[in-house]
Amino acid sequence: MSQGSEWRKSAHVERLAEAPSVPLTPARQTALHAALAVLLSPIDATDLDAWRGEVTRTLSALLGADNAAFQLEMPELSTMYSENYSQATLDAYMQHYRALDVGRIRRDVLGLEVWNRELLHGPHLRAFYKSEIHRDFLVPNNIYDSMGLTVSVPGLPAPATLFFHKERTGTTQFGVRGLAYLGLLLPAFKAGVRDLVRFSHQRQSLASHLDSLIEGIRICDLEGRVVHQNPAFTAALTGKPAEKQTEAAISEIVQDLGALTRDRHGSVMALAGAQVRRAVNTPTSNYEIRGSFLGRELLGAEVRVAISLQRVPLTHSLPDVALQEQFGLTARETEIVRGLAKGMSTKELAEACGISPHTARRHTEKVFTKLGVRNRAQIASKISAL
């Protein structure tokens, strides 16, 4: 090992050894806990860039950084992300200046995971200040001091790196204190990126499986936003007469499942097995729509909803007199049965029959009992002529 390399390794050890001397005020403890929490929770974010944004904001607040960037090379993702630098600046770094970045080169050679400018360049800072990367890229972008974390993760083609920058040099935040905080954050950063890679592979595998199914499947969040939809779902619905009615039924299912998360305080275990069904019937097609929760272990998010869409054969229902005789229905209950078989909501039933939603619900409950069904989706087949 060269004398310069030995100096850097020694300096690294000395700085991390001094970490316990950095005081943690209550405010700093809170900020540190927030930073650790966000690093360890990539799968709770709505998407990867949302997580990268939250990470850079939260850690910048802890470290006293003016600007930050997050390098992560994953499919369908921009390698560099920053809420402080323009995309043109990030592209310029990746396309030209990254290859000239002597700090990156030394970091890779030394295998440093926790680093700052002094640790990387030491007695060679003068040469660094004369380099093209400093003169033509860092200074024009007001980057006068740097530190960060770099970790290699199985499954990624390049290390993941967090960059933190100051717009002036010689600050205590980017010295011993900064290295101490980064040393504390390093294990959480490693774990977070590894979880992200693992769940990304899992999502890809699940999406591939869903796309191979002949049954229509849509994955969405509790706001109804589509996370994934397989080709069978698209083919069965898009441009069809029942599309608008089906989307309305799906919206109701998501709302009903969302109400369950509030009633049960979002407990994934308590939500297991919960399912909501709707029937959509038109003169040309009948559909059964089922909604249920997906566990965190499948997609990584706190709560996702799986919507399945299955086309059922058209049937001819029994005439009103036969329904009333077979199931003991009143004229009003027969009217309710017809509406339920068409997939009408409680509100729509109430409006169609000229009654209150409360009365419509009461009639629906009686109809369920008389027909011996558990949900609306079973009614169409129950009243069909054999």
Per-residue model confidence (pLDDT) at position 131: 94
- Residue 353 in this model has a pLDDT that exceeds 80: yes
Of 38, 49, 88, the residue nearest 71 (C-alpha): 49
Query: Mean pLDDT, to the nearest integer, of 226-238?
Result: 87
**pLDDT-derived band of residue 302, with 50, 70 and 90 as boundaries?**
low
- Residue 188 in this model has a pLDDT that exceeds 60: yes
**pLDDT-derived band of residue 283, with 50, 70 and 90 as boundaries?**
low
Of 138, 140, 189, the residue nearest 160 (C-alpha): 189
Per-residue model confidence (pLDDT) at position 32: 92
**What is the identity of the amino acid at 16?**
L
Q: Provide the b/e sequence for 204-229 (b: ≥16 CB within 10 Å).
A: eeebeebeeeeebbbbbbbebeebbb
Per-residue model confidence (pLDDT) at position 12: 47
Query: Mean pLDDT, to the nearest integer, of 89-112?
Result: 93
Rounded to two decimals, the pTM is 0.60
**pLDDT-derived band of residue 46, with 50, 70 and 90 as boundaries?**
low
DSSP state of 316: P
What percent of the chain clears pLDDT 70, i.e. is strictly above it?
Answer: 86
Per-residue model confidence (pLDDT) at position 284: 65
Could you please report the per-residue DSSP string of 353-364?
HT--HHHHHHHH
**pLDDT-derived band of residue 171, with 50, 70 and 90 as boundaries?**
confident
**pLDDT-derived band of residue 273, with 50, 70 and 90 as boundaries?**
low
Could you please report the per-residue DSSP string of 212-239?
T-SSEEEEE-TT--EEEE-HHHHHHHTT
Query: Mean pLDDT, to the nearest integer, of 359-372?
Result: 92
**What angle, 0 to 180 degrees and rounded to 10, lies between the N-to-C axes of helices 346-353 and 331-341?**
140
> Using alpha carbons only, what angle is made at residue 38 by residues 114 and 73, rounded to the nearest 5 degrees?
60
Per-residue model confidence (pLDDT) at position 209: 83
Q: Of the spans 179-193, 228-242, 254-268, which averages the highest pLDDT?
A: 179-193
Per-residue model confidence (pLDDT) at position 19: 44
- Residue 10 in this model has a pLDDT that exceeds 70: no
Per-residue model confidence (pLDDT) at position 80: 95
Query: Mean pLDDT, to the nearest integer, of 266-290?
Result: 71
Query: Mean pLDDT, to the nearest integer, of 256-274?
Result: 65
Angstrom distance (rounded) from CA 170 to CA 190: 28
**What angle, 0 to 180 degrees and rounded to 10, lies between the N-to-C axes of helices 48-63 and 176-211?**
170
Which has the minimum average pLDDT: 39-48, 85-94, 112-121, 164-173?
39-48
What is the CB neighbour count within 10 angstroms for residue 333? Answer: 19
Instruction: Write the pLDDT tens digit of every residue in 120-150.
Output: 998 889 999 999 999 999 999 999 999 999 9
**pLDDT-derived band of residue 6, with 50, 70 and 90 as boundaries?**
very low
- Residue 190 in this model has a pLDDT that exceeds 90: yes
**pLDDT-derived band of residue 62, with 50, 70 and 90 as boundaries?**
very high
Residue 164's region, left for phi above 0, alpha for psi from -120 to 50, else beta, is beta
Instruction: Write the pLDDT tens digit of every residue in 49-59.
Output: 889 999 999 99
Query: Mean pLDDT, to the nearest integer, of 357-380?
Result: 88
Q: Which two tokens stand for residue 290?
A: 């089922």
Per-residue model confidence (pLDDT) at position 9: 45
- Residue 103 in this model has a pLDDT that exceeds 90: yes
> Using alpha carbons only, what angle is made at residue 94 by residues 89 and 99, rounded to the nearest 5 degrees?
125
Residues 6+ apart with CB under 8 A from 106: 8, 120, 121
Per-residue model confidence (pLDDT) at position 265: 55
Per-residue model confidence (pLDDT) at position 16: 44
Q: Which two tokens stand for residue 272?
A: 């297991």
Instruction: Write the pLDDT tens digit of every residue in 342-352.
Output: 778 888 889 98
Per-residue model confidence (pLDDT) at position 277: 86
Angstrom distance (rounded) from CA 173 to CA 179: 9
Length of the chain (residues): 386
What is the set of domains in the chain, with CATH numbers? 3-202 (3.30.450.270), 213-312 (3.30.450.20), 320-382 (1.10.10.10)
In sign, the C-alpha dihedral spanning 134, 135, 140, 145 is positive
CB burial of residue 285 (10 Å; 0-12, 13-18, 19+): middle
Rounded alpha-carbon distances, angstroms, from residue 174 to 9, 21, 150: 18, 15, 16
Rg over CA atoms, the chain = 30
**pLDDT-derived band of residue 8, with 50, 70 and 90 as boundaries?**
very low
- Residue 329 in this model has a pLDDT that exceeds 80: yes
Per-residue model confidence (pLDDT) at position 311: 78
Angstrom distance (rounded) from CA 324 to CA 231: 42
Q: Which H or E run includes 64?
A: none
Of 355, 9, 308, the residue nearest 346 (C-alpha): 355
Angstrom distance (rounded) from CA 96 to CA 209: 39
Q: How far is CA 231 from the centre of its chain?
A: 22
